[in-house]
Chain A
Amino acid sequence: MMPHDHPHPTSRDHSEPRAAFDRLLSQVLTALDESALLTTAEVTAQIEDMEGRTPTEGAKLIARCWVDPEFRELARHDLPAAAAQIGISMPPHPVFLILENTEDLHHVVVCTLCSCYPRPILGPPPVWYKSRNYRSRVVKEPREVLAEFGTVLPAGTNLRVVDSTADCRYLVLPLRPKGTEHLAESELASLVSRDSMIGVTKVST
C-alpha cells in the first residue's frame, strides 16, 4: 500500500488507521476467535470474496443489459437472478434494483444517512460517496454536484436523485453511448465506469 500525504481538510473520511485502532482490531479478532463467534480464517475468506466484487463485475452486467433485451428484462425484475447469470452471487436482502437512464431521465444515487451501496455488485463504495460533502449536497444541488464530476445534462433531461434510505440498493443502468453498435459486449463493458453506475457521470466513448 502506498503511503499518501495529501491533506484531508474537512473530515477524516479516509486515512490510515491510528495505532489505537489497529490495536483494537487485533483485540476484537482475538476475542472473537476465543468466543467461537468468528475465526480469522472466515475473515480472510470474506476479504477474498469482497476482492472479487469490483466495478468490473457491474460493468459486465451493464454491457449485457445493453446487448441482450431478455437479460435486461430479467435485470429489471430480478437483478440477483441476472447477476447470477454472469457469476455474481447476491444475498436475498436488501433489495437490489437497477435504475434505467433514458434520453429523458438521468438517475444519481446517494445514501444521505450512511453509506448504502450495491456492494455485492460494485464492491465497497469510493471514499467520496461516503463523504460529508457528497451526502450533504447531492440532494440539494444535484446539478452542481454532477458538474463537479464533469457531467452536464442536456436541457430537458429530467434528473432523479435517489436516496438509498432503507431496504433498497441501486445500480444505475447508464445510457448506451451512440455510435457503439459495432462494439462487442466486452468492449462495451470496458467503457462503463463505476461513477456512471452511481450516476455522477455518463458513459462516453
Chain B
Amino acid sequence: MERTHDLGGLPAGKIDQTEHELTFFDKRVDALYALLTSPKKAAFTMDEVRRTVESFSQADYFGLSYYERWLKAMSLLLIEKGYVEASALDIPQASS
C-alpha cells in the first residue's frame, strides 16, 4: 500500500481557506456514510471505508472530491460485502 493518504509532514502549499456549502450530493453521501457505519446498520466499519479509500490510486485519491471518494469506497464495499450486485452499480474507474 502506497499510503497516499498519510500526509503528515509532506511538502505542501498554502491552505485554500475558501468556504464551501455542502451540495445536496455531499449531504446525501455524508448521510449514507453515517448510517451505514452506525451500530444500528453496521453494513461496514469506518475502518473498512478508510481501507478502501486508502487503496485508491493517487489519481483517484487526489482527483476525486472528498465525497466522491467516500461514495466510490462505499459502493465497492457494498459489492464486496454482498449487499448489492456488482451489475447494479456503474463505478467510475480511476482517471489517469
Contact = CB atoms under 8 A, between A and B. Distances in A.
A70 B23 CA distance: 40
B68 A17 contact: yes
A43 B71 contact: no
Contact of B28 (A1, A16, A43, A112): A43
A186 interface: no
B89 A27 contact: yes
Contacts of B63: 11-12
A17 B36 CA distance: 21
A27 to B, nearest CB: 5
Interface in B59-81: 62-68, 71-72, 74-75, 78
Nearest to B11: A136
Interface in B1-49: 5-32, 34-36, 39, 41, 43
Contact residue range for chain A?
Answer: 35 or more
B84 A31 contact: yes
B41 A20 contact: no
Contacts of A31: 78, 83-85, 88-89
B12 to A, nearest CB: 4
Contact of B15 (A21, A25, A131): A131
A102 interface: no
A205 interface: no
B35 A46 contact: yes
Nearest to B32: A43
Interface string A103-124: 0000000001111000000001
Contact of B34 (A21, A50, A128): A50
Contact of B25 (A22, A27, A44, A131): A22
A28 B68 CA distance: 13
Ranked 8 nearest A-B pairs via Cβ = A112-B8, A136-B12, A46-B31, A11-B62, A17-B25, A133-B12, A135-B7, A31-B84
21 contacts: A16-B25, A17-B67, A18-B92, A22-B25, A28-B84, A32-B83, A38-B36, A46-B35, A50-B27, A50-B34, A51-B27, A112-B7, A114-B5, A127-B66, A128-B18, A131-B16, A132-B62, A133-B16, A137-B12, A149-B17, A163-B8
Given A24-B90, A38-B36, A137-B12, 16 more contacts: A1-B24, A6-B18, A24-B89, A27-B89, A27-B90, A31-B78, A32-B32, A32-B84, A35-B84, A38-B35, A43-B32, A112-B7, A113-B8, A127-B19, A127-B20, A140-B9
